[in-house]
């Protein structure tokens, strides 16, 4: 018998399942001629003893090899290498003509001037100043992995791994509706919920539904740049209204409404993006009244509702929407980790059904297994517990970050302590510019690039967001010291 024990290496530490390791080992032996056609394979019992693995593992591997056509089993005789093994020889249809892949397409295609490609961010030793993102090191990966595993091994999961609905998993829609009703005062059922792959998908779908070229959408001056670009991509005409300490200015909105046909307004009510101010309760009511009167849509992007540090948050406009004007957008990407693409779009049923139809032609359906996992994560109260836990940590980081900024670099910047969210709106003294800061900061292993995104119309506010939530106290300490060194060097340029 072939010395299987010495020629088949099984590594139990590897991520690859053992039966698959065994399967590829056998395929290798057949391909290199060690096992010729007709050769008899050891019994599953013998091989399992030789390799010190479970007999069921050997049986699973033999079954896989048989399905792939490498071996055949003859009842009462044993298992043999097939007489015709399935080695696929690829034929080049251009016979001998060697080609390398071209770098450029051989046809013309449309590039959209409004959209920007995503840049890869950051090498290990550098600190990237971000827009306000969660600390992924705090993500409850183990808890989610346990739920996911249980979901996958359950028999009734089979019904979900087929093609499903573009609306998203039914249980998750129910649990999201319940969660939003309890935490945000909404009054919705699952029929008002479309599961998206994050808030951005909700913004895109809303734009698809509402905007045709030249249609007017109102946004703040300043505004979340990805939303701007999404609307421009749909050919919309963007009208900007000022934002002060209470959020969007209503008098400007009223004026616009009386002079134009407004299709929609985009708002980040909880913390305006980028300046982090909260839209006041009074202005929320006024926007709802104007929307009813002029029949426009309110796209309420509540991207960071779960993060408030000083007092209870003001309920979203969606909680008082009796006339079907609000499309409410959110996700769990910010609360758990951006990689989990699970978000929601909330609106009247007619809008949700149309949005699901539109979504289907771009993304046939969401990730049902992930959706079931998150449905259970929400229903068990784990999402709320996780949010409460990180909220405490982020509050401590916000306080420390603002304190250190004040102590070390207040000569160069001004900022207000945000009452929630994950970022501080930092305005650089107008004597300086972010271009110089960005260039010099590289020397101190800081990456400051995003300032360009906060002033697309060159209004000259000299502000940019500094995310704080993703850094530990030690990292914040280091960040601020490096920032100080940067600013001091920028000062010498003057
Ligand atoms: C204001 C705002 N809206 C939407 C998004 C998109 O979030 P998601 O990851 O849920 O798509 C972001 C992400 O940073 C954001 O800042």
Summarised one tens digit per residue, pLDDT across range 437-456 is 999 999 999 999 888 889 98
Domain boundaries, the chain: 4-81, 127-138+385-492, 163-380
Per-residue model confidence (pLDDT) at position 313? 87
Q: Does residue 91 register a pLDDT over 90? A: no
Mutate to test the pocket of ligand 1, among 224, 425, 466, 470 (most ligand atoms within 8 A of CB): 224
Closest ligand 1 atom number to CA of residue 331: 10
Closest ligand 1 atom number to CA of residue 203: 4
Does ligand 1 lie within 6 Å of residue 224's CB atom?
Answer: yes
Considering the chain, what percentage of its residues have pLDDT values greater than 90? 80
Does ligand 1 lie within 6 Å of residue 331's CB atom?
Answer: yes
- CATH numeric code, 4-81: 1.10.10.10
Give distance in angstroms: CA of 9 to centre of ligand 1: 47
Distance CA(252)–CA(221), nearest Å, equals: 11
pLDDT tens for 233-286 read 999 999 999 999 999 999 999 999 999 999 999 999 999 999 999 999 999 999
Give distance in angstroms: CA of 67 to centre of ligand 1: 46
Residue with the bigger pLDDT between 248 and 7: it is 248
Per-residue model confidence (pLDDT) at position 88? 60
Give distance in angstroms: CA of 13 to centre of ligand 1: 38
Four-way CATH pick for 163-380: 3.40.50.1950, 3.40.640.10, 3.40.50.620, 3.20.20.80: 3.40.640.10
Between 119-128, 179-188, 340-349, 478-487, the lowest mean confidence (pLDDT) is in: 119-128
Does ligand 1 lie within 6 Å of residue 301's CB atom?
Answer: yes
Per-residue model confidence (pLDDT) at position 141? 96
Q: Does residue 426 register a pLDDT over 90? A: yes
Mean pLDDT of 204-226: 97
Per-residue model confidence (pLDDT) at position 113? 85
Mean pLDDT of 152-162: 85
Does ligand 1 lie within 6 Å of residue 268's CB atom?
Answer: yes
Mean pLDDT (the chain, rounded) = 93
Query: SS3 sequence, the chain?
Result: CCCHHHHCCCCCCCCCCHHHHHHHHHHHHHHCCCCCCCCEECCHHHHHHHHCCCHHHHHHHHHHHHHHCCEEEECCCEEEECCCCCCCCCCCCCCCCCCCCCCCCCCCCCCCCCCCCCCCCCCCCCEECCCCCCCHHHCCHHHHHHHHHHHHHCHHHHHHCCCCCCCCCHHHHHHHHHHHHHHHCCCCCHHHEEEECCHHHHHHHHHHHHCCCCCEEEEEECCCHHHHHHHHHCCCEEEEEEEECCEECHHHHHHHHHHCCEEEEEECCCCCCCCCCCCCHHHHHHHHHHHHHHCCEEEEECCCCCCECCCCCCCCHHHHCCCCCEEEEEECCCCCCCCCCCEEEECCHHHHHHHHHHHHCCCCCCCHHHHHHHHHHHHCCHHHHHHHHHHHHHHHHHHHHHHHHHHHHCCCEECCCCCECCEEEEEECCCCCHHHHHHHHHHHCEECCHHHHHCCCCCCCCEEEEECCCCCHHHHHHHHHHHHHHHHHHHHCC
Residue whose CA is at the smallest distance from ligand 1 atom 16: 303
Q: Does residue 460 register a pLDDT over 70? A: yes
Give distance in angstroms: CA of 295 to centre of ligand 1: 26
Does ligand 1 lie within 6 Å of residue 343's CB atom?
Answer: yes
Give distance in angstroms: CA of 200 to centre of ligand 1: 6
Q: Does residue 85 register a pLDDT over 90? A: no
Per-residue model confidence (pLDDT) at position 15? 84
Per-residue model confidence (pLDDT) at position 123? 64
Give distance in angstroms: CA of 410 to centre of ligand 1: 29
Four-way CATH pick for 127-138+385-492: 3.90.1150.10, 3.40.50.9100, 1.10.1130.10, 3.40.190.10: 3.90.1150.10
């Amino acid at each position: 018998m072939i010395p299987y024990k010495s020629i088949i290496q099984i590594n139990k530490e590897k991520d690859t399942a053992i039966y698959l390791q065994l399967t590829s080992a056998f395929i290798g032996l057949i391909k290199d001629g060690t096992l010729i056609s007709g050769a008899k394979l050891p019994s599953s019992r013998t091989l399992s003893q030789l390799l010190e693995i479970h007999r069921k593992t050997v049986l699973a591997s033999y079954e896989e090899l048989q399905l792939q056509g490498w071996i055949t089993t003859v009842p009462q005789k044993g298992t043999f290498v097939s007489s015709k093994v399935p080695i696929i020889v690829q034929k080049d249809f251009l016979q001998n003509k060697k080609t390398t892949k071209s770098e450029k397409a051989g046809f013309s295609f449309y590039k959209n001037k409004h959209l920007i490609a995503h840049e890869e961010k950051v090498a290990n030793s550098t600190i990237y100043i971000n827009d306000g993102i969660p600390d992924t090191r705090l993500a409850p990966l183990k808890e989610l992995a346990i739920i996911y595993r249980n979901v996958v091994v359950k028999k009734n999961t089979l019904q979900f791994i087929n093609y499903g609905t573009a609306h998203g998993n039914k249980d998750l829609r129910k649990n999201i509706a319940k969660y939003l009703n309890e935490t945000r005062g909404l009054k919705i059922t699952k029929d008002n919920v479309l599961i998206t792959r994050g808030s951005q998908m909700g913004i895109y779908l809303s734009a698809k539904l509402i905007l045709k070229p030249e249609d007017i959408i109102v946004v703040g001056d300043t505004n979340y740049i990805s939303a701007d670009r999404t609307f421009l991509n749909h050919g919309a005409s963007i009208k900007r209204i000022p934002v002060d300490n209470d959020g969007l200015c209503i008098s400007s909105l009223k004026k616009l409404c009386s002079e134009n046909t407004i299709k929609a307004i985009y708002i980040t009510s909880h913390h305006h993006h980028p300046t982090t101010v909260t839209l006041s309760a009074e202005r929320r009511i006024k926007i709802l009244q104007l929307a009813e009167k002029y029949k426009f849509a309110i796209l309420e992007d509540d991207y960071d509702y779960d993060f408030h540090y000083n007092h209870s948050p003001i309920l979203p406009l969606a909680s008082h929407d009796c006339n079907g004007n609000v499309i409410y957008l959110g996700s769990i990407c910010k609360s758990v980790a951006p990689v989990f693409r699970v978000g929601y779009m909330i609106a009247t049923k007619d809008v949700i059904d149309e949005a699901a139809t539109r979504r289907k032609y771009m993304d046939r359906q969401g990730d049902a297994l992930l959706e079931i996992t998150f449905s259970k994560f929400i229903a068990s109260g784990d999402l709320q517990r996780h949010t409460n836990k990180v909220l405490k940590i982020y509050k401590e980081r916000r306080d420390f970050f603002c304190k250190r900024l004040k102590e070390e670099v207040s000569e160069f910047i001004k900022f207000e302590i945000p009452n929630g969210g994950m970022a501080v709106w930092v305005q650089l003294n107008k004597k300086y510019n972010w271009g110089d800061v960005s260039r010099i900061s590289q020397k101190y292993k800081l990456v400051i690039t995003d300032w360009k995104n906060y002033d697309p119309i060159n209004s000259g506010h000299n502000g940019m967001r500094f995310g704080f939530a993703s850094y530990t106290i030690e990292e914040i300490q280091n960040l601020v010291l490096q920032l100080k060194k940067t600013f001091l060097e920028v000062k010498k340029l003057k």
